[in-house]
Chains A and B, each alone.
Chain A
């Protein structure tokens, strides 16, 4: 074959492919147009019936809504019911699930979970989760053994959507070996699923946690923190002394999220942990707990060698509000660490607390007005004056404007 005939063949092939593409686009557009206009019509027609059903006017065993599988009406009905289920009350959610069960949707998708096509299996797993029928739990648990990570991941996510207590023990038997998965996809889905399952899964997590490897332990600790039940506090307190600093930090963070005051003494002990990010999580945790006893500890951490720990301590103190302000004023006025002082000043400005303090200059309670004055004066010493300068011109209260001018003039 010479070059000329190669070129000619290539030209012919290019023209054919181009025509094929144009033809393909046209046919596809026409077919999709027909399909979607029919689907829209069916949706519109069925919408009234669905509304009547949700209002309790159509009985649940109605045969009016029974359509052949995969038909356009069947598709339209599924779309409408699943959409309605997303925003429905719990009672209506259950009614929709029951209706979908009666109409055979879960059985259809349970069958689809055995399809040879991974996209179909993933889609089926997703639909089963959205339908929320407990009859699908077993099938979804089986899908966790699917060779495709995609299918396993969607199945796991769907299990989180069906809070079926029967699923927990079986799901927990999977835990120690999930970490051997190469992909992180599964781990992140697992976290979300366990958090969605909520408090009911906590006993099962606690019984399995110590058997898991460190990576999985860290993941479970995070979940316990997000679930936020005090039932997990003791187990988490024990993890504060774990040899792995990652686990200690996660345990401190989780304890902060749970907010159980019984954890404060142990957290205070961990406040001098040799690893900085454990100390950082301890500061944040104690800040979240908002207990007056820990103000001194957080003030000490404002001079931590690591700036991120100092920032976390300042942020925690800010979150605690007025009870912490007097301690903060003391640091702002007497503290030797300029960095810590600046850190507090920054947090106060960003969060709008400086604005609150400016407004409080005309507070009917003298004590609060005085505290505000002291605080603002200490900010002027740090040359943090922009917000005050702005307020000295634009604050609606003349009294406040005058007070601020006094503070600015007096100290500058």
Chain B
């Protein structure tokens, strides 16, 4: 082992340090660009919202019908609220299709009882192949609601069942623990009305519902949650959506739209074969496949994120659950990127192939690995007395400050645009958590992501499921329910 000399190790560490410096500079430059682009887009949106003409869309006979697909597996506690909020949306023609994915907690029975549904014998055309359907339930009282019962086969398969069964040219996916604001769909359809040929998909913002009050499937009072794990996620969601996705969308490089609230052109999704059953992040996989398909067809298209339409969702409230969710996301990210590796640096796929995919691979996927190597390199550098301690502390401080700047920047964007948290205490708490999330929470996230990569390498990729909680309802609603 003579070749592993001290000199070799030292040059390796020094080389790695330069690499980290470059990596840090590159990542943060991209973030800065994204933040600037997002700020511009958000402000444009804000100005536009003053004359958006949503009433025209609501009353126009030309607004296309939309089918809302809600896959549900053991969602008894939240499903009625979700469906009520969807049925009551401010949108001219829409149908709600709940796909019961083999629930064992009486989700189906709850729906049947609440909406007085009856089994009907409908024809099922599996244009995208799926597992067989057990039954269809409708009610003349709620003509735009249909529940499909099927054996458990996972969310992507359930969504494919919904796509096969829906009758509208566009479908919108909504998670069963998510409620939409009344005008959310109206706002989400706007880009499709403006560019009907080009827009193949668009998504709205997903905000954290925990802490808010929900009445009859509608968020009526917006407040921040009390638990720190939830607060961290509020800040994280604001950052991910308000400057991450807004920025990528403006650059036409958006690789992910949240399955919790996205709208798709049905024809194109059917052309690509629907949702893939081979991944745990089916929403991300579908968007990448749509990009690939459209680029290969050489057709002009848009996949957009717009921050105005709002959906509210529950997030994990225990670290064990959060860790599972993050590991699942990271494994999904890895499998999708690896299965589309031929798109990397391939000019045929334009900005997606040349920039977005490699960026996601090297920064989002391998970020935790670089971080881990950093934790190894620093003690080694110290051991070999090549660590400039002052420089190290300066660098660490800058990294922390930059992380805080990005979080606070997202809160600032929220504050100057949508301002959903009107209380002074809320904005103060958001800023505090914007600072604190960089001191432990972010590192914890990196650790979970790293674990996911290990799981992937060692094939321990079992599904890790979240548990549902009842929405927080106001006391008046609770009284009504009891009566």
Chain A positions within 8 Å of B, measured between CB atoms, are: 3-4, 7-8, 10-11, 14-15, 17-18, 21-22, 24-25, 28-29, 86, 119, 122-123, 125-127, 150, 154, 157, 183-185, 188, 191-192, 195, 222, 226, 307, 342-343, 345-346, 349-352, 355, 382-387, 390
Contact = CB atoms under 8 A, between A and B. Distances in A.
Contact of A29 (B118, B397, B427): B427
B193 A386 contact: no
Given A125-B51, A349-B138, A342 B398 contact: no
A11 B62 contact: no
Interface string B96-124: 00000000000000000000001111110
B120 A22 contact: no
A64 to B, nearest CB: 28
B2 interface: no
Contacts, number: 118
B11 to A, nearest CB: 18
A376 to B, nearest CB: 13
Given A185-B194, A192-B56, A195-B61, A387 B398 contact: no
Contacts of A385: 121
Contacts of A192: 56, 60, 62
Given A7-B391, A11-B398, A25 B122 contact: no
Given A4-B391, A390-B118, A126 B50 contact: yes
Contact of A22 (B53, B119, B408, B424): B408
Contact of A4 (B194, B198, B390, B405): B390
Interface in B54-92: 55-56, 60-62
Interface stretch (B222-230, B409-417, B467-475): B409-417
A291 B283 CA distance: 47
B402 A14 contact: yes
Contacts of B121: 345-346, 349, 382-387
Contacts of A383: 121
A349 B60 contact: no
Contacts of A11: 394, 397-398, 401
Chain A binding surface SS class: helix
Nearest to B198: A184
Nearest to A223: B62
Interface string B162-196: 00000000000000000000000000000001111
Contacts of A387: 118-121
B62 A222 contact: yes
B140 A352 contact: yes
A7 B140 CA distance: 68
A25 B398 contact: no
B395 A188 contact: no
A119 B47 contact: yes
B166 to A, nearest CB: 13
Contacts of A14: 398, 401-402, 404-405
Given A14-B402, A22-B431, A226 B53 contact: no
Given A349-B122, A350-B120, A390-B119, A184 B196 contact: yes
A15 B120 contact: no
Contacts of A21: 408-409, 412
Contacts of A185: 194-195
A15 B195 CA distance: 42
Nearest to A126: B51
Contacts of B394: 4, 7-8, 11
A350 B141 CA distance: 11
A29 B426 CA distance: 12
A350 B56 contact: no
A157 B53 contact: yes
A342 B123 contact: yes
A157 B56 contact: yes
B140 A355 contact: yes
Nearest to A382: B121
Contacts of B427: 25, 29
Interface string B426-458: 010001000000000000000000000000000
